[in-house]
Amino acid sequence: MKNKKIKVGGVALFNGIMFSSEYRQAVVQKNGDKIKCRTSEYRKDKNLLSKIPILRGILGLSSQVGNATPEFVSSSGEKPDSKINTILTYLLVIIVVIGLPMFCSLIVPQAYRSLVQAIIVILEFTLYLLAAKYTKELEKVFMYHGAEHKAVNAYENLDEEDITIENIRKQKRFHKRCGGNFVVYLVLLTIIAIFVLPIENLLLKAVVLMLVSVLNIGIAYEIVNILSLLPKCLDFINYPATLIQYFTTKEPTDDMIKLAMYGVLAAAREKKEIEIYKYINRYVKHNLKEQEYDVQDIYSILEFVTKVDRNRIYLQKDTMLLNINQEIQADTLLDKYYNEKYPLQYITHKQYFFKEQYYVDENVLIPRQDSEILVEKALEYIQAEQITKIIDLCTGSGALGISIAKNAVTDATVELIDISQGALGVANRNIHSNGVFGKVITLHSNLLEEKIKQINNVVNTENTEDLIENAKYEMIVSNPPYIRTEVIASLQEEVQKEPHLALDGGKTGMDFYIRIFKEAKQVLRNNGLLILEIGYDQLEEIKELVKENNEFKILEAVKDYGGNDRVVICRFQDK
């Protein structure tokens, strides 16, 4: 059922729109890439004066000027003072519309003064329209004005669930209750009053005209409201007044329409929140009707937005509510996921790996289930050989090393190494969230370069075999970049959003393995272990590398859950 019970109006700002209804005021603005909406509820007890014809228009304009002026001023970058700005607005209108015409009419005989006053009011109005058309700074305001009209038209013509960017775009940018129409009728009433008032004393006439203008505000308001109720066949009556909107509105961008959509919904809904199930149904209907989707992904994003467990959201979806800013955030993230093919883990900053939860973002590769095989094999060897000193090379999120440290039966310490400072920031965050601070540390290094320098310092200063051996490590685990450069462009869109630094293994995909085998010789203790994750088709190339680096021998190659070669365990024996 279309909601036509309440009226919604708006005021365009420099960076957004202010909408008002009998329920609340909603100011929706764009700051950078983010849309924010502020709402303030109106008092439920209605003032009887606000229901009296003519008087309600006077009170309504006073309220709107008081609310809109500081918002308009602040949106331009100035610091508003609502009382001062409201007073200044009224004084400016009085001086321009009444004072200036009276003053200018002093230069002509008494018989022509009313005519001159009316002509000057018309000229002022014409100059206002020309200024509106050619003032570049106001162009954005007029585009927001057009978006506001389109959104209000959509609200009045459509069911709430059909108020979408696409449907708002189809609406007209003109509206019968536009404030511009009100200004046209107010100017006409002012001109009529100038001719009708039989007062020769200009000062007295100015005072009386001010009082009459207050009455004219109420009359103009009622004219606009009455004409807005006319059927479409009588729309032509409104055309002369509506012409002003050709100057004061412009076609908006889709971003402005999106802003207006949220603003009109925030102001017009009887409840300012929306039930979760209604939100999901609406999003699916208008965004996912032609593609497959898993509702659990939607719940995951809503969990991130609301900070409420998704199982609880599912159980309480009929009663749990989203406020307008949560709705805006959910829309933005769901659009990012479904339209931009952005990985869900980067949106929710959450990935489960080997019984633990890890924070992930665009700085790191998303840990995969297949990599758990590497952790399992590492833990087996740690237990069997009582290993305590380990390196996780090319660590990324730190998932491999942290999972090993948390689950090792020995008192193992793990050093997480990566060339990316952003990745190490993520790894440090995961160290703290997983409670392994002290057992796991990070090191910024281009593969093992820094570690080799540290060991060489020991060699140069402590020339004893035991100390040198103690400076080295018993195990190195690594999931390095191993995808061939030419293949990256053909990967799934979601994978291509991951850091290429963590994917690109060079022309053959073997660049990092070549360096790791060479550098690991200087870091591993005798009989130390090198455990590598590899590409599904790289086992034979790894075997060739082992032949070239004959200090290593392959102990075993392990397949993943899909039956592909995935992990290789090598023993280092110094000859």
Q: Angle between the 539-548 and 511-520 helix axes, to the nearest 10 degrees?
A: 40
Q: How many CA atoms lie within 13 A of 112 on its CB side?
A: 9
Helix residue ranges per DSSP H, 135-253: 139-157, 165-169, 179-196, 202-228, 239-242, 245-248
C-alpha dihedral, 411 to 416 to 422 to 425, nearest 10° = 20
Contacts of 360 (CB under 8 A, 6+ apart): 345, 346, 349, 350, 351, 366, 367, 397, 426
pLDDT for 191 beyond 50 = yes
Q: Give the pLDDT confidence of 493-552 residue by residue, as tens digits.
A: 999 999 999 999 999 999 999 999 999 999 999 999 999 999 999 999 999 999 999 999
Classified as helix, coil or strand, 477 is strand
CA distance 418 to 480: 10
Average pLDDT over residues 299-321: 95
Tell me, what DSSP letter sits at residue 447?
T
CA distance 335 to 323: 18
**Over pLDDT 70: what percentage of the chain?**
93
47 pLDDT tier (thresholds 50, 70, 90): low
Contacts of 506 (CB under 8 A, 6+ apart): 484, 485, 512
Among 31-45, 101-115, 296-310, 456-470, top mean pLDDT goes to 296-310
107 or 558: which leads in pLDDT? 558
235 pLDDT tier (thresholds 50, 70, 90): confident
The neighbour count for residue 362, using CB atoms within 10 Å, is 12
Q: Does the domain spanning 362-572 belong to CATH 3.40.50.2000?
A: no
Q: Give the pLDDT confidence of 250-270 residue by residue, as tens digits.
A: 999 999 999 999 999 999 998
pLDDT at position 18, please? Answer: 93
pLDDT at position 463, please? Answer: 66
Q: Give the pLDDT confidence of 134-179 residue by residue, as tens digits.
A: 788 789 999 999 999 999 999 999 998 899 999 999 999 999 889 8
pLDDT at position 462, please? Answer: 67
| pTM, two decimal places | 0.83
401 or 468: which leads in pLDDT? 401
Q: Which residue ranges make up each domain of the chain?
A: 9-267, 273-340, 362-572
